[in-house]
Chains A and B, each alone.
Chain A
C-alpha cells in the first residue's frame, strides 16, 4: 500500500501517527481512504465539493501533484504521498 506522511497539524486526527499505509490507486483514492479511516482529517483535506483545499499541498514522492494529474495521479504501492500545509511558526507572539 502507498505510504502517506501526515503533517503535525493533522496528527491529532490520526491518533498521533506520522505515517500511515493507506490503500488506493490514485492520489485522490488514497486521501479519501485516509479521510474514511480518520474522519477528523476530512474537513482539513477536502473542500465541500470534494476537491482538495487550496491551502493543502500534496506531493507524490517529491513532486507536487498540481504539476502531475492532481487527485487523478496514479499511485503505486511503493510511492509516498506527502501532505503539506503551510506553517508559519518562527518568532513567538
Chain B
C-alpha cells in the first residue's frame, strides 16, 4: 500500500507542474493575444467609423471596393490602411501607423473618462474606496463618450435567460451559438447575452496633420 502522504505530495507536485505548464502557455497566449488585440483594435476602430472599410473587410479586403455611400468620411481621413490581411504586422509598426480612429477614440476615452490615466496606475497600491472613486470618473466619462459618439442597441431585444428561436439562415455574425450544436435550424436555445450593436458612429472630424498619438497633451499652467 503506498504511503498516503508521499502519494499526496506526488499528486501535489504533479498538479503544481501542470499548473506552471499551463501558466507558461497562458502567458504565451496572453502575449500573443495582446499583440493581436492591438491589431484588432485598429481594425475594429477603422471598421466602426469607415463603412467602406467594414464592407471591404467582410468581402475579404477587396481594395477596389467603392467608398461608403454615406459619405461620412472625415475630410482629414488618414491614408487608407493597406487592404490586405494584417495579422502579420508586428506590434512595433503600430506606433508608425497613420493616425486613425482607434487613437481618436482612445483620446476621447482619456479626455472624457481619464481611461489612460486609470489604466496606467497600479490599482494594487490603493484602497478599494480610492479605486472606486476613480472608477466613477471613468464610468461616467465612458458613458458620455458612448452617448455622444456611438449609437448602441442590443442585437436581440428578448429578455436574457428567455428562450429564443433562430430560424434557418440566421446571421452567425449576429448570434453566436454554442452548446448542443447538432441538427438543422431552426435552433431553439436560451439567450445568454443580448449582444450589442453599434448602429451609428459619429466621431469628430480631424484636422489633417493632427498627431493623434497625443492622447492627452501635457498641461502647464502659467
Are A and B part of the same complex?
Answer: no
B residues in contact (CB < 8 Å) with A: none
